[in-house]
Structure 1
């Protein structure tokens, strides 16, 4: 597969003679868009029972409000990310933010569950904000600001998810569930206006055709897998529907890989998966998606249990959400810190450190979660770990692929995180359900086992980070082509990795 590159290099979007756009405002607009998407992903979860009651449906049926969002995001993220690389990231960002705004307003006005599910599917299209935003940052910002900014944007997706959990209780208790959508809509409007009037079109494009066949097969695979994971607890993990969808999803994924390897202009260049800096970043993102949403399920549930149980803390929904604030604050701090570290020592050390932090964050409450300080310290470690690791995975990909393939590579990373989040939520919910009293009250063992499971999964992130290439290894690869400035030559390194060294010369 060959690429037509109209312009490349971070921060090379505009000639010196032209007036550069205000990069700070661009980052603000992108941050608001990303924050809106992430908040909307988690904001409705604590309010499902309330929404279901108001719309006269069961909580199980109301869970489709979450499922529709995840399915739409997983399917549309790679398609829209690829379109951004092809026709321009700003154009596609405007489309994506418009869909997010329409979906958010429609959700706030939804008279029944069917309309609300459609609205959530429209919102899910905004999953492409992450790859598109990182592509814009790479194209528009000065090189010295790219790493830190990507760290901030990556952390925002974790921050938004945490803010959603924290804010849901107070919004529903003091306003109504409709305001779960009206408030984020304000952020979306600001972001959309900013992108339309304050952001230039990226000069880095990869002209070509959209791989419709690949998109269709990938859609079948992701919908099957995520539907089985999301509904497995309700349907039964050994039911024909769950097992059949898992099998269909796995088969379709294999077919997708085979088709993409033979397609001239694939939706996702599978050769990128051979690059160690890429596949290790995807593995770490998958695991952190699991760990992050494992935290968002376990901690609020534990805090809201009656203190009479001997292990619950008797907090309200709002009070329980506040205990996630330390996690959110640490994400805000350590996301940009990761970007600084990446520039100095490469993405591997902060990715490894973040994985160690999160592992420790789960081991502590797994050993004992009877004291509130243990929950708080666990939250601090979780936030620091997520901020470091997720920012590092995005930077690792940026340094491993050419600018023309930023969208598709980050899209896969975003999908990995989404799938990890779905698996984490489903697994922890199943553990809690299987370790409960006949009246449905979770037992203490549910939390002990849940924390240990998350700790065990986090260890896999440590192994993934250890497998990532070091700065020295990457420099050796660069020297093989006579490259002096490693960060500027990701295109040539990519050609080397994929066996196209002749093109690099």
Structure 2
């Protein structure tokens, strides 16, 4: 079990490096003598690289060996953190943040390698903890970064991240079994470049739409390019004998619906990260403002991550006893309950206490932990063992897209109609903005429940290598399965 502990700890560390930038955004324009709009690229570049790297790393892990890809991801984060720590200018800093983006792919590959060495009876719980590390790292990143940056300086923050990456690298190399040697085969370079182009042209307008303008020429042009490239990429991948992503696997009903659920749950979770943090930090004179500092706000949001981690074990047990469909419906119902409670309080104009908001965020964290624990197990029980990394990478990619869409939509709603507080000269969201943003998150939660209800009944985990989901046996085999093995590369 030491390998599982190392992987889960590393998963938290990799996720934490993605959010530690948030408290630094207000100070970076002065540090690097640049504009606030340029600083937003410190978030965008990491998200874009992570989105591109996640499915590619999953495929390469299946081909070349998953532990090897884990070491590459962790090593890249360590190098990127060191580059950020010594960066003399914004371009160098952005290069470091781009390298840190490779850490986004870590969790998907880590889940896949667990299938190779974790006993069947413990696989569900292990996968749940690993998957929920995304939420834990995201929730702990803000208070951790705010504390270190305020007490020791922002460069020390990145040195700490580099040291943590080195410790994770040693732990994985020492305690995680090497696993299989990989399936081999040829890597689809054209497919990877095409997927990268699709994601970049999709995520850039989503991330920068508020600054560029949603109807600006560059936003509309990139969005149109994303659609055109997607059409060509799909046509190419369907015809290719050894594609980057086996679209027949992605079209299986549990996998397809699981990707929708993952995207919607990520939207709801991140929406409920953005809304409460704005309420906590908004001046008390503004609607629903609670007027606490950034560090205090981050600490108050941290229990949501702890709830996500703790509920992952509950999710794994529910999957084993009642099935994935039941577990995902329960998780979605918890999110709907939490968001409805917030919406009713906003509609009533109730100036609720901090504890009420804390309870809502913890309920959302519990929902997210159960969902994130269930989805990888659902996918692993649906696809062949040799395509686990690829399928989990695609699901992780859909979560990243959900986060990006939530950041764009919820951020735009909260910014639109914001009000100026003359007492502290600060802009805060309006009551209508909070209500509309909560509605958007609620719609995402309802959509995830509807998708879960469409899953086949009786989906239960059968352990590593098992394929208890009926759709895999009854659906046509994947292109790779039909072709058989085409040789292996050295592991």
The correspondence for 2:163, drawn from 170, 186, 189, is: 186
Aligned pair 1:90/2:67, yes or no?
A: yes
Shift of 1:276: 1.1
Do the aligned partners of residues 73 and 408 (structure 1) sit closer, same or farther apart at CA in structure 2, a change above 3 Å counting?
Answer: same
Q: Post-superposition shift, 1:200?
A: 2.6
* Residues 178-217 of structure 1 aligned to structure 2 (within 5 Å): 178-203=155-180, 205-217=182-194
- Structure 1 counterpart of 2:435, from 448, 455, 460: 448
Q: Secondary structure at the match of 1:440?
A: strand
1:379 offset after TM fit, Å?
0.9
Larger displacement relative to structure 2 (111-120 or 488-497): 488-497
Q: Would you say 1:397 and 2:397 are equivalent positions?
A: no
Separation in 2 of the partners of 1:416 and 1:489? 23
Q: What value does the CA root-mean-square deviation take over the aligned residues?
A: 2.3
Among 337, 361, 371, the alignment partner of 1:379 is 361
Contact 2:16 2:141 in 1 (8 A): yes
More relative contact order, 1 or 2 (CA 8 Å, 6+ apart): 2
Deviation per residue, 1:413-433 (Å, 9 max, x gap): 111011110110111111111
Q: Cα–Cα, structure 1 residues 428 and 310, in superposed 2: closer, same or farther, change >3 Å? A: closer
Alpha-carbon spacing, 1:240–1:448, altered in 2? closer, same or farther (3 Å):
same
Which structure 2 residues correspond to residues 76-475 of structure 1 after superposition, within 5 A? 76-203=53-180, 205-368=182-345, 370-371=351-352, 372-437=354-419, 440-471=427-458
Cα distance in 2, alignment partners of residues 356 and 451 from structure 1: 15
Distance 1:493 1:276, change over 3 A: closer
Q: Deviations along 1:444-469, whole A, 9 cap, x unmatched?
A: 22112111211112111111111122
SS at match of 1:323: helix
> Matched residues in 1 for 2:214 and 2:76: separation?
34
> Structure 1 residues 46, 387: CA separation in 2 closer, same or farther (over 3 Å shift)?
same
How far does residue 43 in structure 1 lie from its aligned partner after superposition? 1.7
Q: What is the correspondence of 1:486-505 to structure 2 with a 5 Å cutoff?
A: 488-489=466-467, 494=472, 496-499=474-477
Q: Which of the numbers 17, 34, 54 marks the counterpart of 2:31? A: 54
Task: Indicate the larger mover: 293-302 or 180-189.
Answer: 180-189
**1:351 and 1:390 in contact (8 A); partners too:** no
Q: Which SS does the other structure have where 1:449 is aligned? A: helix
- Spell out, residue by residue over 1:338-368, the C-alpha distance to the aligned partner (whole angstroms, 9 max, x if none): 1122122221111111111112222211221
* Maintained 8 Å contact 2:253/2:471: no
Between stretches 133-142 and 44-53, larger displacement belongs to 44-53
C-alpha distance in 2 between matches for 1:190 and 1:294:
32
Please list every run of 5 or more consecutive structure 1 residues that lacks an aligned counterpart in the other structure. Answer: 1-23, 476-483
Pairing partner for 2:16 from 39, 42, 67: 39
- CA–CA distance in 1 between the matches of 2:89 and 2:441? 36
How far apart are 1:288 and its partner, in Å?
A: 1.5
Report the count of equivalent residues: 473
Query: Post-superposition shift, 1:503?
Result: 6.1
SS at match of 1:315: coil
Displacement, 1:443? 1.4
| Structure 2, unaligned runs of 5 or more | 421-425, 485-491
Deviates more, 1:93-102 or 1:50-59: 50-59
Taking the aligned partners of 2:15 and 2:183, their CA distance within structure 1 comes to 28
> How far does residue 504 in structure 1 lie from its aligned partner after superposition?
12
Aligned with 2:154: secondary structure? coil
- For residue 490 of structure 1, report the CA deviation from its aligned partner: 5.6
Report deviation, 1:249: 1.0
